[in-house]
Amino acid sequence: METTDPPQPPPPTVSDNVTGNDDIPNFYATPNHSCLPKTIPEPSVSKPHLNDISEPINESQPASEAKPELAPAADPGPPPPKKRRRRKKLFTDMISTSAGSGFRVLRPHPKPSTVYSYSETELADEPDDGKPHILHRRRGGGTGGSNSKLSDLAKEVDIEALIAISVGFPVDSLTEEEIEANVVSQIGGDEQANYIVVRNHILARWRSNVSLWLTKDHALESIRAEHKALVSSAYNFLLHHGYINFGLSPAIKEMKLKPPEGAPKANVIVIGAGLSGLVAARQLIFLGFKVVVLEGRARPGGRVRTKKMSGDKDDIVAAADLGGSVLTGINGNPLGVLARQLGVPLHKVRDICPLYLPNGRTVNSDIDSKVEVSFNKLLDRVCKLRQAMLEEVRSVDVSLGTALETFRRVYNVAEDYQERMLLDWHLANLEYANASLMSNLSMSYWDQDDPYEMGGDHCFMPGGNETFIRSLAEDLPIFYNRTVESVRYAVDGVLVHAGGQAYRGDMVLCTVPLGVLKKEMIQFVPELPQRKRDAIERLGFGLLNKVAILFPYDFWGGDIDTFGHLTDNPNTRGEFFLFYSYSSVAGGPLLVALVAGEAAIKFEMMSPVESVQRVLEILKSIFSPKGIAVPDPVQAVCTRWGQDRFSYGSYSYVAIGASGDDYDILAESVGDRVFFAGEATNKQYPATMHGAFLSGMREAANILRVAKRWSMVPAERSYSATLENEDIDELFNAPDLTFGSFSVLFDPRSTDLESNSLLRIALKVEKSGAGCLHLYGLIPRKLVIELSKVAGDLDRINMLTRDFRVKLVGKQNLCYMAESLLTFIRSSRLRALAKDFVVESTS
Ligand SMILES: Cc1cc2nc3c(=O)[nH]c(=O)nc-3n(C[C@H](O)[C@H](O)[C@H](O)COP(=O)(O)OP(=O)(O)OC[C@H]3O[C@@H](n4cnc5c(N)ncnc54)[C@H](O)[C@@H]3O)c2cc1C
C-alpha cells in the first residue's frame, strides 16, 4: 500500500535516492540520483551462521452507553499524515503555537533591506532609510526594477528563515541559547530583528556549500557594514554552537582539529564515544579544550553499530545497522550534512509498505485505510482528552495504552478480527517508535517532541551509519575498554575512575545512555542532585531489537524498502511486525526484522536459532503462496540491547508521570563541573541519532560558556551555583571545631594563628518547623580560640560583633575571600578522599 506525505508547500522534488542535499527546504531542486536496487540473482545457498549478540549486537463512553461513530464530520482539519514510519506522529491538534519554531514562515523583519547591502542601481528607487549602504549584495542577474528586487530579497529572506527553522531556530525570536550567549544587547526590538536576518543569512550561506569553511569575512560580504557587530555576534554564536562549519569535509576537518593557539582553556574528560561524545569531543578540541574520551567498549559509535555481514566465502556481503539506522527527517538534519560532505547520496526510504496477514495474503486496502483512519482518530481523541485534562489537573497521567483502549471500546473500533490485527500492527508501530510498551507511555507527553520533528524524507545511509562514526572518531584521543566506574567532582575539578586508572580533569562530560544512569553503573560523588536523580527515574528507557538476515539473493523484490506482518496474538504484535529491506543500500540482500514492545523483551530470552526460524516461517508464509521460495540465510544476527551493559536498552521515551522537562533536567550540568549529553538529554530530538549529535554540540558550547565565565568573573561563579551553596552546609557537617551554636572551618593550608577561618552560627528560628538560620563570618584563628573560651552564645555573639567587629552575613553574601577559603577546604577534603588528583593507576 502506498502512503502519502502531508501537504508541504511547495512540493518536494526528491527522488527515491536523495542526495545529501538534505537540509534545504523543498523549494530547492535536488538532483535525482537514480540507483537501481542491487540484486544478487545467484541462488547459491550456504549454511547460515547465526550470531546472538550480547554486546548486544555483539557479534554475536463506557461501552454500555451510547456509542457514537467516529464521525469524520465532527473532526475539523485533515487526518494526520499517513506514513508507515518509525514515528506515527504529528497530530495537528497538538502542535502548540508556542512550541519550538512554529511552522509559519514569517518574515522576521519587515524591512530586510536595512540589513543587506545593495548595488547603487538597486538602491536607486529604494525608500531612503537614512543608512549608508557600503557593500554590495551579490546575487544572480535579475532584470526587474527595484520593486521586484525588493520582493526577490523578501523571498530570499523567507527562504533563509525557512532554512533556519529547519535547523531548529524560531522564526521571530531568539533561542534560549542565543539569549544566554548575549547575542544582542537588548531582547526584542530592531537589533534583535536584524540579528535574526543576519543569523539566518549566515546559516543559509554555509548550508549552500557545507564543504567549505565559512569565514566571518565571507559572511560580511553581503551584509551592510554598519551591521558588522551583528555579523560578528551571529557568526561566533553559530560557530561555537556548531551550527556552521561542522562536519567531515576535508577543509572543515583540517580547521577543526588544528591545535588551538595558546594554552588549552581547560581539560575535559568525555565519557562515551557514541555520537554525542564524538561530536562534543571534536567541537571541544576546536574550541580550545584539552580532551580525552573514555569509552567502555572496544569500538566507537555506541548505539550506532554497523555490522559487516558475509557468507563463508565472502562472496555475499552487506552492512547491517543493528542500532540507529534511519535518518528520521532530512531537513536540517546534521547527519544529512555529514553525508553530503562525505559525498554519499542518501537513500530515501520509500513510503510503500504492504501489510501481510498471517496467511500471507495482502491486507485488503479498504480495510487497511479504514483502520488507519480510525487509529488516527483514536489518537486525536486522546489528544483532546489530555488537553482537557492538562487544563484541569496537570499532575494526572495515565498510560497511552489505557486511554487508547478505552476509546477503542467506547467507539467500537476494530472489533472485527482482521481490523483488530491491523490496529495491533499500528500499536506495535507506536511501540517501536517509542521503544516501549503502550502501557508504559505517558498519555500526556509521549509525543512532546512532535512539534520539533525534523521535516523531509526518512533516509538510509548507504553502507551504514558507521561511516559517520569512523570519520568522527578519526584522530580523536579515545581510550577504549575504559569503563568508567565513578566520577568525583568538587569546585576545583573532577576525578574519573575507569578501568583501573584515575583521570583528573577540570570538567567531565557524561554521555552514557539513560539505561546506564538508571542502573547507577557510574557512582557520582557527591551524589547527583535529587532533581536529576528523580528525572532519571521518571523518564523511560525502552527496548527495540532487530534480527538482521543476509540472504543469498533478494527474493522479496527491490522496489520496496518496508513491509509489515500482522499477527492474531496481541501479545506478540511487535514480533517481527516490520521488515526493512536494505538491499538498496547495504551492498547485499539484507533484510532486518524488528521486534518491539513486549516481544522485544521476550526476544532476549529466546535462542537466536529459534528467533531466526520464526522470522523464516513468517517470510515463507508471505512469499511461498506467491510461488517465491525463501532461501536459507547466509548469515543472521540477533541484537540484545537490553542486556548490553553499555546501554541497558535502546532509547528513551516519556513514561507515565514524566514529561519533556525531564529531558531538560537530564541536560542540566552539576556544579559547573559535570555536564551531560546524549539523546536522553535532548527534549526536542530524543531517541534519535541527530538528537545525540545536537546534544554533543550543545554541551561543547555550554562548557565553553562556563569556562569563559570562570576566567572572566570568577567571583560570581561561586555564588550563583546553588549546588556550591548547599555544599557549604555539607562542609559544616564535619567542622574542625564546635562550641555552642558555633562551628568553625580552619584554613587547611596553615596552622598560623593569623590564618582565616570560616565561622557559622546556627540560630534557632522561633517559628516551629522553620529550622535554623545560618550566619557566617570570616575571622582569624586566634579570635576563634578566644571566642571558644567564652560561655554562652549571646556573649559570644556580642564579643564577635562588638569587640572583634566581625560582619555576619547570609550564605549568599559570603565574600570572595571566604569563597577562596572554601575552595581550599573542599579540595583538601577531596584530596583526602581521592588521595591524589593526577592520573594514576588504581589497580
Ligand atoms: C535498536 C536501535 C534502533 C535505533 N533506530 C534509530 C533510528 O532508526 N534512527 C535514529 O535516529 N535513532 C535510532 N536509534 C537511536 C540512536 O541510535 C541513539 O539515539 C544514538 O545513537 C545515541 O547516541 P548517544 O551518544 O546519546 O549514546 P550512545 O551511542 O549509547 O553512546 C554512549 C557511549 O557511552 C559508552 N558507555 C556506556 N557506559 C559507559 C561507561 N560506564 N564507561 C565508559 N563508556 C560508557 C557506550 O559504550 C557508548 O559508546 C536506535 C537505537 C537502537 C538501539
Average pLDDT rounded to a whole number, residues 158-184: 91
- Which of 205-209, 438-442, 838-842 comes out lowest in average pLDDT? 838-842
Q: Is the CB of 522 under 6 A from ligand 1?
A: yes
Tens-digit pLDDT profile for residues 118-153: 333 333 333 334 332 322 333 333 345 566 666 777
Q: What is the pLDDT, as a whole number, of residue 345? A: 96
Last residue of a domain, one of 666, 695, 712: 712
| DSSP classification of residue 813 | G
Q: Is the CB of 513 under 6 A from ligand 1?
A: yes
Q: Tell me which of 821 and 253 has the higher pLDDT.
A: 253
Separation of 311 CA from ligand 1 center, angstroms?
Answer: 28
Q: CA–CA separation, 379 vs 86, rounded Å?
A: 16
Tens-digit pLDDT profile for residues 517-538: 999 999 999 999 999 999 999 9
Tens-digit pLDDT profile for residues 452-482: 999 999 999 999 999 999 999 999 999 999 9
Q: Is the CB of 693 under 6 A from ligand 1?
A: no
140 and 195, same domain (yes or no) = yes
Q: What is the pLDDT, as a whole number, of residue 515? A: 98
Q: Is the CB of 650 under 6 A from ligand 1?
A: yes
Q: Is the CB of 333 under 6 A from ligand 1?
A: no
Residue 726 has pLDDT above 80, yes or no: no
614 falls within a domain: no
Label residue 772 by pLDDT band (50, 70, 90): confident
For residue 698, give the CATH number of its domain. 3.50.50.60
Percent of the residues in the chain that have a pLDDT greater than 90, as a whole number? 62
* DSSP for 679-724, written as a single string: GGG-SSSTTSHHHHHHHHHHHHHHHHHHHHHHHH-HHHHHHH-HHH
SS (HEC) of 395-432: CCCCEHHHHHHHHHHHCCCCCCHHHHHHHHHHHHHHHH
Mean pLDDT of the chain: 80
676 and 800, same domain (yes or no) = no
Determine the distance from the C-alpha atom of residue 419 to the mean position of all C-alpha atoms in its chain, rounded to a whole number: 36
Separation of 542 CA from ligand 1 center, angstroms?
Answer: 12
Residue 99 has pLDDT above 60, yes or no: no
163 falls within a domain: yes
Q: CA–CA separation, 769 vs 487, rounded Å?
A: 35
In one-letter notation, the amino acid at residue 418 is: Q
> Of 353, 329, 322, nearest to 89 (Cα)?
329
How is residue 212 written as a grid cell? Answer: 567549505
C-alpha distances in Å from residue 284, one per residue of 288, 458, 617, 675, 745: 6, 30, 50, 13, 37
Q: What is the pLDDT, as a whole number, of residue 837? A: 31
116 and 228, same domain (yes or no) = yes
Of the residues 22, 293, 303, 639, which should be mutated to test ligand 1's pocket, given the most ligand atoms within 8 Å of the CB? 303
Q: Is the CB of 678 under 6 A from ligand 1?
A: yes
CB count in 10 Å sphere of residue 818: 21
807 and 792, same domain (yes or no) = yes
Tens-digit pLDDT profile for residues 351-362: 899 999 999 999
Q: Is the CB of 329 under 6 A from ligand 1?
A: no
SS3 content of the chain, % helix, strand, coil (to 5): 40, 15, 45
Q: What is the pLDDT, as a whole number, of residue 70? A: 32
Separation of 579 CA from ligand 1 center, angstroms?
Answer: 22
708 and 723, same domain (yes or no) = no
Q: For residue 686, give the ligand 1 atom closest to its CA.
A: 19
> Of 205, 232, 231, 43, nearest to 139 (Cα)?
205
Q: Is the CB of 542 under 6 A from ligand 1?
A: no
Q: Is the CB of 484 under 6 A from ligand 1?
A: yes
Last residue of a domain, one of 660, 689, 712: 712
Closest residue to atom 50 of ligand 1, CA basis: 324
Q: Give the contacts of 357 (CB within 8 A, at least 6 positions apart).
A: 363, 418, 421, 566
Average pLDDT rounded to a whole number, residues 587-612: 97
Query: Domain range spanning residue 113?
Result: 102-167+182-240
Q: Is the CB of 432 under 6 A from ligand 1?
A: no
Q: What is the pLDDT, as a whole number, of residue 72? A: 33
Q: Is the CB of 326 under 6 A from ligand 1?
A: yes
Q: What is the pLDDT, as a whole number, of residue 209? A: 95
Residue 506 has pLDDT above 80, yes or no: yes
Closest residue to atom 48 of ligand 1, CA basis: 302
Q: For residue 681, give the ligand 1 atom closest to its CA.
A: 26
80 falls within a domain: no
653 and 800, same domain (yes or no) = no
226 and 272, same domain (yes or no) = no
Percent of the residues in the chain that have a pLDDT greater than 70, as a whole number? 76
Element (H, E) at 485: strand 484-490
In one-letter notation, the amino acid at residue 329 is: G
508 and 484, same domain (yes or no) = yes
Average pLDDT rounded to a whole number, residues 607-629: 96
Separation of 471 CA from ligand 1 center, angstroms?
Answer: 17
Q: Is the CB of 692 under 6 A from ligand 1?
A: yes
Separation of 468 CA from ligand 1 center, angstroms?
Answer: 14
Residue 12 has pLDDT above 60, yes or no: no
677 and 754, same domain (yes or no) = no
Q: Is the CB of 682 under 6 A from ligand 1?
A: no
Q: Is the CB of 663 under 6 A from ligand 1?
A: no
Place of cell 593569623: 754
767 falls within a domain: yes
Q: Is the CB of 641 under 6 A from ligand 1?
A: yes
* DSSP for 570-588, written as a single string: GGGTTEEEEEEE-TTTSSS
- Which of 468-477, 487-496, 779-788, 833-842 comes out lowest in average pLDDT? 833-842
Greatest Cα pair distance in the chain: 103
- Which of 214-223, 683-692, 803-812 comes out lowest in average pLDDT? 803-812
Residue 415 has pLDDT above 60, yes or no: yes
Average pLDDT rounded to a whole number, residues 69-93: 35
Last residue of a domain, one of 691, 712, 733: 712
Q: Is the CB of 55 under 6 A from ligand 1?
A: no
Q: What is the pLDDT, as a whole number, of residue 212? A: 95
Separation of 200 CA from ligand 1 center, angstroms?
Answer: 31
* Beta strands per DSSP E along 154-274: 267-271
Q: For residue 278, give the ligand 1 atom closest to its CA.
A: 25
Q: What is the pLDDT, as a whole number, of residue 815? A: 67
- Which of 70-79, 170-179, 562-571, 766-775 comes out lowest in average pLDDT? 70-79
708 and 730, same domain (yes or no) = no
What is the count of structural domains for the chain? 3
Q: Is the CB of 281 under 6 A from ligand 1?
A: no
187 and 224, same domain (yes or no) = yes
Q: Is the CB of 777 under 6 A from ligand 1?
A: no
Of the residues 306, 460, 651, which should be mutated to test ligand 1's pocket, given the most ligand atoms within 8 Å of the CB? 651
Work out whether the CA dihedral 441, 443, 449, 454 comes out positive or negative.
Answer: positive
* DSSP for 18-47, written as a single string: --S--SS-TTS-------PPP---------
797 falls within a domain: yes
Q: What is the pLDDT, as a whole number, of residue 495? A: 96
70 falls within a domain: no
C-alpha distances in Å from residue 295, one per residue of 282, 302, 478: 15, 9, 7
Residue 838 has pLDDT above 70, yes or no: no
